[in-house]
Chains A and B, each alone.
Chain A
Amino acid sequence: MQEVLQTYHLLIGYKGQPLIPEVNVSLGEGDIVALAGPNGSGKTTLFKTLSASLKPISGEVTLFGKKLQDYSPTERSSLFSLVLTEKPDDLFLKVFDIVSSGRYPHLGLLARLSEQDEQIIYESLETVGISHLVNRSFVSLSDGEQQKVMIAKALVQDTPLIFMDEPAAFLDYPSKIELVNIMHKLSREKHKTILFSSHDLDLLLRHADRMWVMAPQQPLRQGTPKELVEQGIIDEYFKPIVAKEEFYWMTSEHPDLKTCFSGDWSGIDANSLRSNEYYGRSIESW
């Protein structure tokens, strides 16, 4: 099977100063990989390098076997899409405007939407469950709804690969579960490859198929959450931070969470977790 994305001896960083040792990783079709690490470990830098916003210090990134920089910006726009933490703030941008802009790379000079384009837009809104918001102004939405709009935009762009930078930041727990459900749906039904970053250990350990773990000046390690925990890598990479930051943690005794830890998280109703007594317990009690 052909790899969607692959890196060879990739050194990332600014001004010739590498942040971490060489990165050699790959993403296959339908993979959901979580990029984990405390703040400042270089997640965003790696993201920017993989999405061609930043040049690597050395080494290569390839997409479908071809070097990233050999694609034109237009070609890249049909290979991968982004969901970022920065949000549009224009008062009159409507949900439809933002989602349909994902279609722009496919449109001509006058940006007229064909019937097929509109159908793709409405399907994507349906997939992430925000069809009812289509005429709303973007700034009037909640953080979770805004996040979904940006995901719908990425879907409309119709790319095999989606990068999501901290998609779970600012979301409450039920919205995080919903987000994870959407990601798995995209991977399963539409065979999208998703790389998302987070510093939220809880979300990562429970919902990622595979993880890339980063820490300042440490080599990037990969594996399933279970492997990484058992090898003590999570402890090693996250420990110095956990003591300082207030991480919230759900206990593993909760029946719903046991199922999702075992990999079957699809039947979980986000709302049932909303008033859960386990929600919000801090890491120390874990």
Chain B
Amino acid sequence: MASDIDHTIRRKTPPIALVSIAILAVGIVLFILNLRYGSVSIPWNEFWDALLHGDTSTYRAIILDYRLPQAITALLAGIGLSVSGLLMQTLFRNPLADPSLLGISSGASLGVAFVVLLGTATGLSVSTLSLWSTFGVTIAAFLGAFAVLLLILALSSRLRSMVSLVLVGIMIAYIAGSVTDILKFFSQKEGLHSFVIWGMGSFSNVSKAQLPFFAIAVLVGSIGSFLLFKTLNLLLLGERYAENLGVNIKRSSMLIILVSGFLTALITAFCGPIAFLGLAVPHIARFLFRSSDHKLLIPATAFLGMDLALFCNLIARLPSFEGNLPINSVTALIGAPIVLWVIFHRQRYTKTM
């Protein structure tokens, strides 16, 4: 048994520079493909013409006004969710932790449900998705996510063990889910429809005007988490070792939860609840670089998250699908097998998950 472990774990570390360049190259290719493919097919030569020479063709409008914001949203969401997942996994020393596990995504959903479903039930003039898709849903998701976040923050200072905090998160998710279901039961058809659409997830809800704000917020959150890398590395040793090495556990935990929760709330508000990206990507980064050093893992996770989100978006918009598949199904379809693989792979090294 011992020799078997040695054999696989001691495999040589891959050249970091080479893997990084490959990840970036894949990202650039996927980004271009995201601009190129969609329900309207654009031939390659016209694509380059429209992109590089500033004419006023329809193609250019499609690419710049529709596909470009969507691709940028996808890559930002990929970065934010993946980094957020990495922070949670390290903080809770749990390979299956991610912000949706703490109930933050469910809180966002509940917020949206309140506005969309109750709004229609009380006879407010809501008939289409368009009105809600912009401002209302965003604010509601934000408020819901932050309500849960504040609850978790308040509880985290009272709960001694990280495991109980995760359990509390799961219970909060259940409660939020049930309330959402009850709201669904009493709601009207139109509201239910727009809620279901939001819940499927999409990278096309961020308008061109909102995009700069979204981008700055995601980048600030991600860079902020990079500044935490020392603390994160020490947390890997366990709370008491980290404390002994100068980490203020309570303050650091709060900071990590806040950064991670902020990223999740933001992205969930704009794109709907997107599962599995935050869970799967940090594992891909760890296995690719065979490292647990956050100085390397945080940028690696960010760029891999970008790649995977662009890939999922590309699949969701392949021409044969006539429009957009729900992004949530695509990420789950790709992310869930990765998580399964992680569980089975881990079991070879540790007795417990």
B229 → A minimal CB distance (Å): 8
Q: Which of B103-111, B237-245, B322-330 is near enough to bind chain A?
A: B237-245
Q: Could you tell me the distance between the alpha carbons of A84 and B244 in the complex, rounded to whole angstroms?
A: 11
Verify B246–A73 contact, CB threshold 8 A. yes
Partner of B243, one of A53, A107, A136: A53
Question: B158 at interface (Cβ–Cβ under 8 A)?
Answer: no
Contacts of B248 in A (CB 8 A): 73
Which residues of A have CB within 8 Å of B243? 53, 73
In chain B, positions 1-42 with a C-beta closer than 8 Å to chain A are: 2, 5-6, 9-10
Is B350 a contact of A89 with CB atoms below 8 Å? yes
A91/B349 in contact, CB under 8 A: yes
**Which residues from 74 to 92 on chain A have a C-beta closer than 8 Å to any C-beta of chain B?**
74, 76-77, 80-82, 84, 86-92
How far in angstroms is the closest Cβ of chain A from B283?
10
A140's partner among B2, B230, B244, B286 (CB-CB below 8 A) is B2
A77–B292 Cα distance when bound, in Å, is: 23
The interface centre, meaning the residue of A51, A73, A135 with most chain B CB atoms within 10 A of its CB, is A73
Task: Report the tally of A-B residue pairs with Cβ distances under 8 A.
Answer: 90
A91, B241: Cβ atoms closer than 8 Å: no
B240 touches A97 (CB 8 A): no
Residues of B close to A157: CB separation below 8 A = 245
Interface contact B293-A97, CB-CB below 8 Å: yes
Interface flag for A93 (CB, 8 Å): yes
Give B105-128 as 1s and 0s: 1 = Cβ < 8 Å from A's Cβ atoms.
000000000000000000000000
Instruction: State whether the Cβ of A101 lies closer than 8 Å to any Cβ in chain B.
Output: yes
- Per the 8 Å Cβ criterion, residues 144-190 of A in contact with B are 153, 157
CA distance A76 to B243 in the complex (A): 10
- Asked whether B10 lies within 8 Å of A136 as measured between CB atoms, the reply is yes
**Closest-CB distance, A29 to chain B (whole angstroms):** 20
Interface centre among B237, B286, B290 (most CB of A within 10 A): B237
Tell me if A101 and B291 are in contact (CB < 8 A).
no
Q: Tell yes or no: B346 within 8 A of A by CB.
A: yes
Q: Contacts of B229 on A, CB cut-off 8 Å?
A: 111
Q: Are A97 and B246 in contact, CB atoms less than 8 angstroms apart?
A: no
Partner of A86, one of B236, B240, B291: B240
A98 beta carbon closer than 8 Å to chain B:
yes
- Whether the pair A104, B236 counts as a contact (CB closer than 8 A) is no
Minimum CB–CB distance from A3 to chain B (whole Å) comes to: 21
Q: Kindly identify, within residues 93 to 125 of chain A, every residue whose CB is under 8 Å from any CB belonging to chain B.
A: 93, 97-98, 101-102, 104-105, 107, 109-111
Q: A104-B230, A139-B349 are in contact. Are A90 and B292 (CB under 8 A)?
A: yes
Instruction: Encode contact with A along B247-270: 1 for CB under 8 Å, 0 otherwise.
Output: 110000000000000000000000
Contact yes or no, B10 A93, CB < 8 A? no
Residues of chain B within 8 A (CB-CB) of A137 are: 9-10
The complex places the Cα of A93 from the Cα of B230 at a distance, in Å, of 14
- The CA-CA distance from A111 to B286 in the complex, in Å, is 20
Confirm or deny: B234 has a beta carbon within 8 angstroms of a beta carbon on chain A.
yes
State the CA gap A140–B237 with chains docked (Å). Answer: 16
A-chain residues with CB within 8 Å of residue B204 when the two chains form the complex = none
B151 to nearest A CB, angstroms? 25
Q: Are B246 and A76 in contact (CB under 8 A)?
A: yes
Bound CA span A87–B241, Å: 9
Query: Does B193 lie at the interface of the complex (its beta carbon under 8 Å from any beta carbon of A)?
Result: no
Interface size classification for chain B: 20 to 34
Bound Cα distance from A107 to B231, whole angstroms? 12
In the assembled complex, the Cα of A14 lies from the Cα of B238 at a distance in Å of 22
* Separation of A136 and B8 alpha carbons in the complex (Å): 11
Given contacts A93-B292, A139-B9, contact A77 B246 (CB under 8 A): yes
Q: Which residues of the partner chain A approach B6 to less than 8 Å between Cβ atoms?
A: 136, 140
Q: Which residues of B contact A135 (CB under 8 A)?
A: 10
In the complex the two chains form, is A90's CB within 8 Å of B240's CB?
no
B238–A84 touching, CB < 8 Å: yes
With a cutoff of 8 Å between Cβ atoms, the chain A residues found around residue B247 in the complex are: 73
From B93, B292, B295, A92 is in contact (CB under 8 Å) with: B292
Whether the Cβ atoms of A140 and B5 lie closer than 8 Å is yes
B233 located at the interface, meaning its Cβ lies under 8 Å from any Cβ of chain A in the complex:
yes
Q: What distance in Å separates the Cβ of A80 from its nearest Cβ neighbour in chain B?
A: 7
Within 8 A of B (CB), among A60-80: 73-74, 76-77, 80
Query: B233 CB to closest chain A CB, in angstroms?
Result: 6
Contact B236 A91 (CB under 8 A): no
CB distance from A168 to the nearest CB of B (A): 19
Contacts of A89 in B (CB 8 A): 93, 350
A260–B79 Cα gap in the complex (Å)? 60
Instruction: Find out whether the CB atom of A102 lies under 8 angstroms from the CB atom of B350.
Output: no
Given A81-B244, A86-B240, A91 and B346 contact (CB-CB distance below 8 Å):
yes
Residues of A within 8 A of B349 (CB): 91, 139-140
In the complex the two chains form, is A53's CB within 8 Å of B240's CB? Answer: yes
Q: Are B245 and A102 in contact (CB under 8 A)?
A: yes
The CA of A89 and the CA of B9, in the complex, are separated in Å by 13
Q: Chain B residues near A97 (CB, 8 Å)?
A: 233, 292-293
Closest 9 CB pairs of A and B: A77-B246, A92-B292, A137-B9, A74-B246, A82-B244, A140-B5, A105-B246, A90-B292, A88-B237
Give A contacts to B, CB under 8 Å. Answer: 51, 53, 73-74, 76-77, 80-82, 84, 86-93, 97-98, 101-102, 104-105, 107, 109-111, 135-137, 139-140, 142, 153, 157
- Given A101-B245, A111-B233, 9 extra CB contacts under 8 A: A73-B243, A82-B240, A87-B238, A88-B238, A101-B234, A101-B237, A104-B245, A104-B246, A136-B6
**19 pairs across A/B with beta carbons < 8 Å?**
A51-B244, A53-B243, A82-B240, A84-B241, A90-B236, A93-B236, A93-B292, A97-B233, A101-B241, A105-B245, A109-B227, A109-B230, A137-B9, A137-B10, A140-B9, A140-B10, A140-B349, A153-B241, A157-B245
